[in-house]
Amino acid sequence: MRSRQQTGGRRSAPSPPKAELNLTPMIDVVFQLLIYFLLGTSFAVGEQTFRMDLPDRSGPSEVDPFELDDAPVVVEVLGGGRVRIAGPWKGPDRTIDLAGFLERQRLDRGGLLPSDTPIHIDPRPGVDWGEAVEGFNAAVLAGYHSVGFADAADRSGPRR
Amino acid sequence: MSAVSRLDPGRPVRTGANLTPMIDMTFLLVVFFVLVSRITAVEQVPMELPAPTDPASNSPDEAPRIVVNLPGGELGESRIATLDQTAYQLDSQGLRDLESELRRRLGSSPELQVNLRADRRLQYATVAPVIDTIARSGNGTGRPDGVRVNLVVMNEQENGATP
């Protein structure tokens, strides 16, 4: 291709107009949206779960007549950080001592209870959900696998 | 300040960043946060979750789940449960509606679990009927061990709120 000087200094033809989109406002808006959602989104940080299987006991069910039903340990949550274990147990009075006590009762720790013994948490009237879960946590922390809430209709029924 | 082409010194070089990949990434991030914020807004109703001391809870697994929320009111009492964006009154009719909706969903997905998020200030007597409703909803859905329920708590030690 010959240069401009070689063609006698003729002015080149004006270049055709270029149509361009101005993307700047769009990028501005997109960044605003990004910052909004970055700040506004909350993730489930720190949330954990306790597993609890809930069999339906409202209807008839098949029961093995030769299967012995494990007697549950019923932990009454009284509120104000106090608990009571129903029955002949010399249990602790405070929720913070419950996990240690239940752990000492485990068969593999020299106690009498297998680790699959049903533990029923029975919050008394007026007890809030936080304290009920505190009792539930103590039983799980003690190493029992079958922990549930006592059913109001059938307190003696096992619930995992 | 325009640069000068070494091959053609008479013509200035137009310098410009190629913004296309950045715009692509930004749009992807926006779409991600739009979707996530919609999901978390539906599943995570703001409330004070139970925070047991020395928690023995586990991190939630990746199994499909639905979330039943029991938010607390000003005085710690609330009379509604929410499932997705539907609110159910905690009376007999509302609990029946909740049960039928849960049964429909549990029947359509055998792996489905139920996460129960309840405000720690609620009375247990408020939460107990919902637990019973969840238990009944598994009837006829082919779950011999019952409905798998996950009680959601806050592990403040993991959250970094307390040392």
CATH at B112: 3.30.420.270
Contact between residue A129 and residue B128 where contact means Cβ atoms under 8 Å apart: no
| DSSP state letter for A84 | E
> B103 and B23 in one domain?
no
- Is B18 among the domain residues? yes
Query: Is B33 close to A58, i.e. CB distance below 8 A?
Result: no
Q: In DSSP terms, which residues pair with A94 in a beta bridge?
A: A82
Query: Is B155 close to A125, i.e. CB distance below 8 A?
Result: no
> B86 and B8 in one domain?
no
Give how far A119 is from chain B: nearest CA, Å. Answer: 15
> B123 and B86 in one domain?
yes
Give the closest of B50, B76, B138 to A133, CB-based. Answer: B50
Q: Is the pLDDT of residue B82 over 60?
A: yes
Average pLDDT over residues B43-57: 85
User: Which of A103, A100, A122 is CA-nearest to residue A113?
Assistant: A103
pLDDT of residue A3: 47
pLDDT of residue A135: 94
> B70 and B30 in one domain?
no
**Side-chain half-sphere CA neighbours of A27 within 13 A:** 11
Give how far B153 is from chain A: nearest CA, Å. Answer: 5
Query: Is A50 close to B153, i.e. CB distance below 8 A?
Result: yes
| Structural domain that includes position B39 | 3-43
B99-144 pLDDT tens trace: 999 999 999 888 899 999 999 999 999 999 999 999 989 888 888 7
Q: Is the pLDDT of residue A134 over 90?
A: yes
> B108 and B37 in one domain?
no
pLDDT of residue B160: 52
- Is B134 among the domain residues? yes
Chain A: residue nearest B162 by CA?
A46
- Tell me how far CA of residue A60 lies from CA of A152, B44, B116, B148, in angstroms: 18, 36, 26, 20
Report the domain count for chain B: 2
> B34 and B72 in one domain?
no
Question: With pLDDT > 70 as the criterion, what percentage of chain A qualifies?
Answer: 76
Average pLDDT over residues A95-101: 92
Query: Is A55 close to B44, i.e. CB distance below 8 A?
Result: no
Residue linked to tokens 């019923």: A74
| DSSP state letter for B159 | H
Q: Is the pLDDT of residue B14 over 70?
A: yes
Segment holding B130, helix H or strand E: helix B124-137
Query: Is B155 close to A53, i.e. CB distance below 8 A?
Result: no
> B153 and B102 in one domain?
yes
> B69 and B33 in one domain?
no
The answer to ipTM > 0.85 is no
* Chain B interface disruption, residue of A116, A133, A144, most B CBs within 10 A: A133
Rg (chain B; Cα; Å): 25
- Is B53 among the domain residues? no
User: Sign of the C-alpha dihedral, residues A88, A93, A95, A96?
Assistant: negative
> B96 and B141 in one domain?
yes
Contact between residue A118 and residue A73 where contact means Cβ atoms under 8 Å apart: yes
pLDDT of residue B68: 92
